[in-house]
Amino acid sequence: MKNCLGIINLSEVDSPFGLLSQNRPTSMLPFAGRYRVIDFMLSNMVNSGINTIGVFTGNKVRSVMDHLGSGSPWDLDRKINGLFLFTPTYDYTTINSKVGDIDLFFQNKSFVKNAKQENILMSKTYMLANIDLNAAYEDFIASGADISIVYKKVNDPMNRFIGCDKINFDARGEFESIGTNLGMEENFNLSLEMYFVKKAVYFDMLFDSIEKGNANYMKQAVLNSLSKYKIRTYEFDGYVACINNLRNYFDANMAILNPEISNELFFKHGQIFTKAKDEPSTHYQKNARIKNSFVANGCQIDGYVENSIIFRGVNIAKGCIVRNSILMQKTHVDQNVHLNYVILDKRTTVNQGVTLIGDPSLPYIGGKKAVISKEGKS
Amino acid sequence: MKEGKMIAMLLAGGQGSRLKLLTKEVAKPAVPFGGKYRIIDFPLSNCSNSNIFDVGILTQYKPYHLNSHIGIGSAWDLDRRSGGVRILPPHTDEQGGRWYKGTANAIYENISFIDELDPQYVLILSGDHIYKMDYSSMLDFHKAKKADITISVIEVPWEETSRFGILNTDADQFITEFEEKPKHAKSNLASMGIYIFDWKSLRSYLIADEKNPNSENDFGKNIIPQMKHDGKRTYAYKFEGYWKDVGTVKSYWEANMDLLSEDNALDLYDASWKIYTKNKHLPPQYIGSEASVVNSMVNEGCNVEGSIENSILFNEILIKKGAKVFNSVILSGVTISEDCEIHNAVIMEDVTVKPGTVIGKPDSEFVYLVSKNKIIESE
């Protein structure tokens, strides 16, 4: 995939994760003990042989910069090609709405223009999967299409994919349109928001939309050019977790406890890379009892842990009971704490004897660096 | 000469034959330790944490794994614009090629390398020891004493003094006498094999020592006694903390087990002095619903369905249902099948232990070194 440029767009209007998204975009949500959501798409691209990746960082830049840095964990700290970060700029030159992302693509047009690659893969990060992008790319090239959209056939009785993009086919099975899923159909075609586009087509769509002022989003521009270009779809049939709200985020983490899912997500088409922390192994101490949990390195655990995701460097003291919870990096849980359906953000401290109980549909969230004490004592 | 500059020369060519099969494929410094490290990670991390960014690594015995582990030194932040880590194998010149004959000879053969870096001080390290030490404090001591050579020493139990090179010192920590493995030691300060020399003076001693056909070209046996004999200022820098030379399979096993004790002095979790190693980019470990994990260290990529107690698991290890592992060190890639029972073992990389196998027994004095085709009992 040397001839394909990667663009990962992190800009978003709003991310519905409460305290968790106060200072970070969806793509930077910690996931599965040691990762961030963005690691999956970045690793997919790198594993498929894309060597030039531009990231539109969105407004919550600090967290993005801190995590991606020079791109070395993904082998993207290159002299030639590699990782390019594009922070928002405020010198708007077009009158187009600032609601969508089309202006972002326009502002960063020179990155694409100067790149040698003749094809582009545009993607978001919240559709979390381990996908062989090379297969999708080869299908796109072989077909001679101008645009190819990756989708997955889903069965969604629980309405987990409400608000996601939906691909509609006409009676002949040809691509017809992209809409928003309202949950009217149980079986539908979920767009993974991964678009392969030829470079010339990309610029034609982009400039046309800016001139006509008829698209806020790049995907609208794609739809507008339906009559002009050949659009095809590529079906992905692997596991996808959709990180678009708190409930789905919580469940996607818990799904990792299923070895089949974790094996697919972490190994199927290559490893997932993330920033290394150089933590030692995890020490389960004398009173530790662990059941069905996913635990990262650097933890010191002396309590009872069940059905939980424990991130790097977490301390769980004697007498604690932690169940159905997500404890992020460097949280500290003091003696005799009881947690059930709780998400603790990074560096949170829970003092002795505290009991926190959430609900599966609405987990209790302890904000970053919070200190939680019994009856307000601290 | 660059005023105040110190470089490190790390001796990593040794075989460590008493470690038996553990060093069959790799040099002793590349032997895995502590759940995720290799022994050489300790001196390398110490260098990095002590702000020493010029490190020459002298390799000789089976260097392949060592070389690929070290790479360009990025794991230790030793991939620098200038300086950084340099691997120094034996090489040829106009006089032909020679193996490194001894510790001092290895440095002698690389005089031109050190001259190019042009330091004031040279720190000699061994890649065989497990400890955390701030070499910059040792250098401060060296400067304060205006020493020609400073040797790092540690108090060892009196009954073990006969195993070490013992140094006798006066109240000012000036070294008055050396005794190699004395029967009746006058002090319990053992040399840790860590030396700081002034390069200019070491350089001349190396050249003189090379000319002496009777010399074993060894720091402890030749260079240091000669410097002492010539009245050079020799000082002992007392180190307090955990230090271990894992010489035998048993002591290797013990050093690993030390990590599980509550008052373990080698605190790997201390964020102010991290030990770095090459990253394997593995997902976290999964502990199953029927598993039991007590007082054990487990690394990334493991899948534990059975029970483990007082054990160290490296990466990507499978402990299947019904398997029981006690007091063991399990290296990466091992599978322990259903209903195995394992005591006091060191299991080498990528071994698959078949279902129902019993290795070792509780309260045994032996340590069982398990490789793909045999088990060695070791005292």
Tens digits of per-residue pLDDT, B299-339? 999 999 999 999 999 999 999 999 999 999 999 999 999 99
What is the structure's pLDDT at A91?
A: 60
Pick the most confident of A38-47, A89-98, A173-182, B247-256.
A38-47
- Whether residues A281 and B297 touch (CB distance < 8 A) is answered with yes
Quote the minimal CA–CA distance from B21 to chain A in Å.
24
Torsion sign (Cα): B159, B165, B171, B176: positive
Strand partners, A292: none
Torsion sign (Cα): B195, B201, B206, B212: negative
- Whether residues A294 and B297 touch (CB distance < 8 A) is answered with no
SS3 content of chain A, % helix, strand, coil (to 5): 25, 30, 45
Of A274, A283, A291, the CB nearest to B289: A291
Instruction: Show which residues on chain A lie within 8 Å of chain B, measured between beta carbons.
Output: 32-34, 72-73, 257, 259, 262, 266, 271-274, 276, 278, 280-286, 288-298, 300, 310
Instruction: Name the band, by pLDDT with cuts 50, 70 and 90, for residue A94.
Output: low
What is the structure's pLDDT at A92?
A: 58
| Mean pLDDT rounded to a whole number for chain B | 94
Quote the minimal CA–CA distance from B56 to chain A in Å.
23
Of A33, A278, A283, the CB nearest to B274: A278
Token pair, residue A112, equals 């694409």
* Residues, chain B: 379
Determine which of B286, B305, B316 to mutate to test the interface with A (most A C-beta atoms within 10 Å): B286
In terms of Cα–Cα distance, which of B252, B193, B313 is closest to B20? B252
Residues 6+ away with beta carbon under 8 Å from A7: A53, A54, A55, A56, A105, A112, A120, A121, A122, A123
Token pair, residue B49, equals 């944490």
Write the pLDDT tens digit of every residue in A206-257.
Answer: 999 999 989 989 989 999 998 999 999 999 999 999 999 999 999 999 999 9
* Nearest C-alpha in B relative to A263: B283
Determine which of B287, B289, B307, B313 to mutate to test the interface with A (most A C-beta atoms within 10 Å): B287
What is the structure's pLDDT at B222?
A: 93
Q: Tell me the C-alpha distance between B236 and B63, whole Å.
A: 32
Quote the minimal CA–CA distance from A240 to chain B in Å.
18
* Nearest C-alpha in A relative to B259: A283
Determine which of A283, A323, A324, A328 to mutate to test the interface with B (most B C-beta atoms within 10 Å): A283
Residues 6+ away with beta carbon under 8 Å from A13: A99
- Whether residues A284 and B298 touch (CB distance < 8 A) is answered with yes
Strands (E) across B21-104 are located at: 32-33, 37-38, 54-58, 84-88, 92-93, 96-97
DSSP annotation of B275: P
What is the structure's pLDDT at B353?
A: 96
Determine which of B42, B300, B302 to mutate to test the interface with A (most A C-beta atoms within 10 Å): B300
Q: Tell me the C-alpha distance between B51 and A357, whole Å.
A: 47
Quote the minimal CA–CA distance from B72 to chain A in Å.
14
B277 contacts on A by Cβ (under 8 Å): 278
What is the structure's pLDDT at A222?
A: 92
What is the structure's pLDDT at B163?
A: 87
DSSP readout, B294-350?
A: ESEEE-TT-EE-SEEES-EE-SS-EE-TT-EEES-EE-TT-EE-TT-EEESEEE-TT
Could you give the domains of chain A? 4-267 (3.90.550.10), 283-377 (2.160.10.10)
Of B281, B284, B288, the CB nearest to A292: B288
* Nearest C-alpha in B relative to A279: B269
Instruction: Name the band, by pLDDT with cuts 50, 70 and 90, for residue B379.
Output: confident
Token pair, residue A326, equals 């997500």
Higher pLDDT, B16 or A316: A316
Strand partners, A119: A4, A198
* Residues, chain A: 378
Q: Tell me the C-alpha distance between A187 and A159, whole Å.
A: 10
Instruction: Please state whether the predicted TM-score (pTM) of the whole model is above 0.90.
Output: yes
Write the pLDDT tens digit of every residue in A97-128.
Answer: 567 888 889 989 999 999 999 999 999 999 99
Q: Tell me the C-alpha distance between B161 and B245, whole Å.
A: 14
Of A276, A283, A296, the CB nearest to B284: A296
- Whether residues B295 and A286 touch (CB distance < 8 A) is answered with yes
% of residues, chain A, pLDDT over 90 = 86
% of residues, chain A, pLDDT over 70 = 97
DSSP three-state, residue B254: helix
Q: Tell me the C-alpha distance between A288 and A304, whole Å.
A: 6
Quote the minimal CA–CA distance from A224 to chain B in Å.
42
B34 contacts on A by Cβ (under 8 Å): 280-281
| Mean pLDDT rounded to a whole number for chain A | 93
* Nearest C-alpha in B relative to A72: B74
Token pair, residue B261, equals 């004790």
Is residue B36 scored above 70 in pLDDT? yes
What is the structure's pLDDT at A89?
A: 78
What is the structure's pLDDT at A12?
A: 76
What is the structure's pLDDT at A93?
A: 58
Is residue B161 scored above 80 in pLDDT? yes
Of A33, A271, A285, the CB nearest to B284: A33
Instruction: Show which residues on chain B lie within 8 Å of chain A, measured between beta carbons.
Output: 34-36, 74, 259-260, 268-269, 274-277, 279, 281-300, 303, 312-313
A33 contacts on B by Cβ (under 8 Å): 283-284
Quote the minimal CA–CA distance from A239 to chain B in Å.
17
- Whether residues B283 and A266 touch (CB distance < 8 A) is answered with yes
- Whether residues A32 and B279 touch (CB distance < 8 A) is answered with no
Q: Tell me the C-alpha distance between A151 and A153, whole Å.
A: 7
Residue type, position A204, single letter: D
